[in-house]
């Protein structure tokens, strides 16, 4: 369907199959901009739309989203000039990682292992294997929702930290990012990427087992996985959601799990670590959409709002 925005959109759009968790109800409307002009028009004219990339770091409510969603999957063009890569927010990062490899550019080897988009990766300052988005990030074009203008942000403006960027303050929406990589021997890059992929094989579930990556952030100087394992949560199951037996910081959707199953299981994991170690783990996965009263309470506890 084409709307007055000249951009494809769908009504009552089921999001479940967009997510790596395979959980989520419908959005009232889902928009699919395919260029920056369409995206900026939507951001100007829609009321508080939720922007989603590849939905690999979100828990979407089984009750759905009471509003508009913008999915960036069609914002997927990129350009390579010498050692810089400029990519629109919807480009999938494993693809970018392969592109950099083919051109003998180092800096994106870590991105081969997770199913994010450029927008989600910058939002999270995604990182792995001692590399992070902020290492190569130069600047970006973003939409400023306070002024309704497209602005340029430099690395200094981005306030990057561990799983942190200024995008999390909800003022800016990433349109495209420019990164500067280092020329390097292709064989060397390939071997790092292979090493990264085989490291993940035993330590995280594959995408054929629906999951959303690490559930909790690492607390300072410790590992959420280590604490959760010691707290004995591996294998715990609520409804269709289960803590993965291979690593205690992953929840897998084993049998039509709902957002409530996952929220309850997360809360159980959170409480086990809090009770045993007086450490309050912080969720890395973000809840999106309508919260039931129970979900509201569970998330308020985990986000330390009460």
Ligand X SMILES: Cc1cc2nc3c(=O)[nH]c(=O)nc-3n(C[C@H](O)[C@H](O)[C@H](O)COP(=O)(O)OP(=O)(O)OC[C@H]3O[C@@H](n4cnc5c(N)ncnc54)[C@H](O)[C@@H]3O)c2cc1C
Burial of 128 (0-12, 13-18, 19+ CB in 10 A): middle
C-alpha torsion 117→119→121→125, nearest 10: 180
**Does position 210 bind ligand X by CB under 6 A?**
no
Residue 226 per-residue DSSP state: H
Q: Is the dihedral of CA 174, 175, 180, 181 positive or negative?
A: positive
Q: Which of 219, 262, 224, 218 lies closest to 243 in space, CA to CA?
A: 262
Q: Are 177 and 121 in contact (CB under 8 A)?
A: no
Options 27, 43, 51, 251; binder of ligand X; rule CB under 6 A: 51
Question: Smallest gap, in angstroms, from Cβ of residue 15 to ligand X?
Answer: 10
User: Tokens 């930290």 correspond to what residue?
Assistant: 161
Three-state secondary-structure class, residue 86: strand
Annotated catalytic, 214?
yes
Told to judge if 163 belongs to the known catalytic residues of this protein, a careful annotator would answer yes
The answer to whether 257 contacts ligand X (rule: CB under 6 A) is no
* Distance, first Cα to last Cα, the chain: 44
Binding mask 163-202 for ligand X (x = CB under 6 A): ----x-----xx----------------------------
Contact map string, positions 126 to 155, toward ligand X, x by CB under 6 A: xxx---------------------------
Quick check: 64 binds ligand X (CB under 6 A)? Answer: no
Q: Residue 301 CB: number of other CB atoms within 10 A?
A: 16
- Interacting residue with ligand X among 13, 31, 123, 216 (CB under 6 A): 123
How far apart CA 236 and CA 203 sit, in angstroms, is 18
Cβ 291 to ligand X shortest distance, Å: 15
The active-site residue, picked from 97, 109, 163, 176, is 163
**Which has the closest alpha carbon to 29: 72, 76, 66?**
66
Count interface residues toward ligand X (CB under 6 A): 33
Residue whose CB is less far from ligand X, 82 or 162: 162
- Give the footprint of ligand X on residues 80-99 (CB under 6 A): 89
- The residue from 24, 25, 116, 283 that contacts ligand X (CB under 6 A) is 116
Is there a catalytic annotation at residue 187? no
Contact 70, 33 (CB under 8 A): yes
- If binding is defined by CB under 6 A, does position 259 make contact with ligand X? no
24 lies in the binding site for ligand X (CB under 6 A): no
Shortest approach of ligand X to residue 206 CB, angstroms? 7
Which active-site residues does the annotation give?
163, 214, 284
**Interaction site with ligand X (CB under 6 A):** 20, 51-58, 72, 89, 113-117, 119-121, 123-124, 126-128, 167, 173-174, 204, 207, 211-213, 286
């Amino acid at each position: 369907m084409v709307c007055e925005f000249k951009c494809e959109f769908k009504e009552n759009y089921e999001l479940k199959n967009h997510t790596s968790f395979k959980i989520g109800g419908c959005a009232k409307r889902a928009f699919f901009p395919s260029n920056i002009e369409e995206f900026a028009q939507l951001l100007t004219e829609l009321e508080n739309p939720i922007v989603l990339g590849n939905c690999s770091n979100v828990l979407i409510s089984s009750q759905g989203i009471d509003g508009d969603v913008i999915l960036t999957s069609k914002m997927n063009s990129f350009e390579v000039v010498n050692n810089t890569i400029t990519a629109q927010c919807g480009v999938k990062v494993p693809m970018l990682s392969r592109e950099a490899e083919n051109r003998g550019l180092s800096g994106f080897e870590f991105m081969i292992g997770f199913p994010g988009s450029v927008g989600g990766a910058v939002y999270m300052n995604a990182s792995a294997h001692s590399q992070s988005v902020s290492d190569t990030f130069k600047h970006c074009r973003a939409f400023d929702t306070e002024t309704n203008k497209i602005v340029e942000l430099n690395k200094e403006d981005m306030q990057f930290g561990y799983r942190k960027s200024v995008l999390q303050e909800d003022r800016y929406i990433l349109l495209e990012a420019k990164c500067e990589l280092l020329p390097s021997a292709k064989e060397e890059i390939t071997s790092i990427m292979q090493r990264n992929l085989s490291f993940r094989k035993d330590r995280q579930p594959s995408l054929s087992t629906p999951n959303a990556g690490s559930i909790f952030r690492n607390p300072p100087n410790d590992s959420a996985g280590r604490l959760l394992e010691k707290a004995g949560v591996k294998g715990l199951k609520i409804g269709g959601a289960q803590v993965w037996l291979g690593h205690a910081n992953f929840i897998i959707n084993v049998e039509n799990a709902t957002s409530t199953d996952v929220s309850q299981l997360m809360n159980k994991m959170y409480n086990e670590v809090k009770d045993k170690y007086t450490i309050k783990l912080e969720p890395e996965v973000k809840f999106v959409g309508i919260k039931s009263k129970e979900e509201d309470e569970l998330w308020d506890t985990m986000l330390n709002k009460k």
